[in-house]
Amino acid sequence: MKDFVKVVIIFSMLSLSCSLSRPIKVMEGKKYKSNSTLQKRLVNIADTGFAFGQQDGTAYGVNWYLNDGSNTLNSDIKKVSGELPAMIGFDLGHLEHGGIYNLDTVSFALIKQQTIEVDQLGGIISFSWHADNPVSQGSSWDTTPAVHKILYDKKINAKFNLWIERLSRFFKSLKDENNQSISVIFRPFHEMNGSWFWWGRGNCTNEDYVKLWQYTIERLRQHGVNNILTSFSPNTMNDIKDFEDFYPGDDYVDVLGVDIYNHNGNQNFIKSVEDNLSILRAKGEKSNKPFALTETGNVNMGKDSRWWTEILYPVLEDSGISWVLVWRNARKDHYFATFPNENSSEDFKTFVNKSQVLMLPDLRSKKL
C-alpha cells in the first residue's frame, strides 16, 4: 500500500512538472488576413508625407479635460494650428480589469466615442496597452516576472485570457454609422528592449516575449477580432539585434515602429532617428510592411522654441514613415506637443504647413 502511494505521489509530481514545462496552447482562430484597407492607407500616406498624431490629443490638454458625452473634438494642437491631428492615440490600460477609466483617467466610453468621430472625419486611431502586471497586481512598470506565468501557469493564463476577451469585445464594438468595423492600430507590449515594463528585457526571456505576442494575437483572432493592425514598437535600438531578438514574425506584425525621445540631446536624437528608421526601412522593404515613429517627444520642449522645424521635420522629411505620434499633454510640466502661448507654438504653425506634414484635413483633401 505504501509503495502504491509512493507511485501515485511520484506520478502526480511528474504530471505537475510536465504541465509547467509546456506553454498553454490555443487553437488557431479562423483564417486571418491583416486589414489591408488600413495598411494600404498607411502605404499611400508614406508616399505623400507622414501623418502627425498625438496621444490623448482630443481627450485632454494643458488646463482642459473633456467630459463624457462631449461631441466636440478639442485639441491643444487645433487651438494652435487650427487643425486636428491626423492620428489620435489612446491607451487601453485597465480595460483588462473591466474598468470604466483607463490608467490616464480617460473613460473608455469617451475613447470609443472619439474613435468613431475621428474615423468619420477620416483620421486614424492607434491603441497602446499599458496592462497591469497579472502576477503582482501592480502597474506595467512593476517588473515582477509575469510573462512566463502567463504562458505556463494555468491560473495566470486564465486571468490573461479574460483580459484578452475584454480587449476583443472592445475592438469588436468599434463600429461606424453604417455598423461597419472601424480599423485601428494596436501597439501592445511596446519598448520590450528596455527593462521598465514587466514584459521587457531582463524580466522575461526573448523567447517567452515572442510567445506572449503570438499567443495574444492568436487569442484575439480566435475571438473574431479582424479590425486591427498590430504594430511592433521597440524603444530606441542600438542595432538590428534589438529588433531581431524580440520580433514575433511577419505573420503576427503588420506595422514596424520605434519609440524615440531626445533624452540625450537633440543631436543624439537626430542620429538615433536616422539609424533606427534605417533599420525599419530595410525590414519594411523586405517584409512589405509600413513603418512609423510610433512614439516620440521633446523632453525639453519649453527650451527649444524651434524644435519642430529645425529638429523633428528635417529628420523625418523623406524618411518613408507613415506617421509620427508625439506623447500626451498632461500639464505644463509634462507635455510633448504644444499649446497656446507655449514657447514653440509659433514654430509649430510653420511645421504644420511643411509639405510632408499631414494633419487630419490633409488626409481628407488628398484622399489618403
Mean pLDDT of the chain: 91
Q: Are 166 and 132 in contact (CB under 8 A)?
A: no
Residues at the binding site are 130, 196, 261
Residues at the binding site for substrate are 130, 196, 261
Residue 295 β-bridge partners:
259
Given this model, what pLDDT does residue 16 score? 38
Closest CA to 104 of 118, 112, 94: 94
Rounded CA-CA distance 2/20 in Å is 27
Given this model, what pLDDT does residue 34 score? 55
Whether the predicted pLDDT of 300 surpasses 60: yes
- Cβ–Cβ contacts within 10 Å for residue 194, how many? 16
Given this model, what pLDDT does residue 68 score? 56
pLDDT (tens digit, 9 = 90+) per residue, 245-255? 999 999 999 99
Rounded CA-CA distance 160/212 in Å is 10
Amino acid 75 reads S
Given this model, what pLDDT does residue 67 score? 67
Model confidence band, residue 30 (pLDDT cutoffs 50, 70, 90): very low
Given this model, what pLDDT does residue 72 score? 75
Given this model, what pLDDT does residue 29 score? 41
pLDDT (tens digit, 9 = 90+) per residue, 95-127? 999 999 999 999 999 999 999 999 999 999 999
Q: What is the CATH number of domain 2-365?
A: 3.20.20.80
Given this model, what pLDDT does residue 4 score? 40
Residue 296 β-bridge partners:
260, 326
Whether the predicted pLDDT of 5 surpasses 90: no
Given this model, what pLDDT does residue 27 score? 44
| Average pLDDT value for residue range 302-313 | 96
Active-site annotation, residues: 191, 295
Q: Are 124 and 87 in contact (CB under 8 A)?
A: yes
Given this model, what pLDDT does residue 36 score? 81
| Average pLDDT value for residue range 303-318 | 97
Given this model, what pLDDT does residue 8 score? 37
| Average pLDDT value for residue range 210-233 | 98
Model confidence band, residue 320 (pLDDT cutoffs 50, 70, 90): very high
Task: Give me the percent of the chain exceeding a pLDDT of 90.
Answer: 87
| Average pLDDT value for residue range 218-225 | 98
Q: Report domain extents, the chain.
A: 2-365
Whether the predicted pLDDT of 6 surpasses 70: no
Rounded CA-CA distance 63/277 in Å is 34
Given this model, what pLDDT does residue 133 score? 98
| Average pLDDT value for residue range 24-29 | 51
Task: Give me the percent of the chain exceeding a pLDDT of 70.
Answer: 89
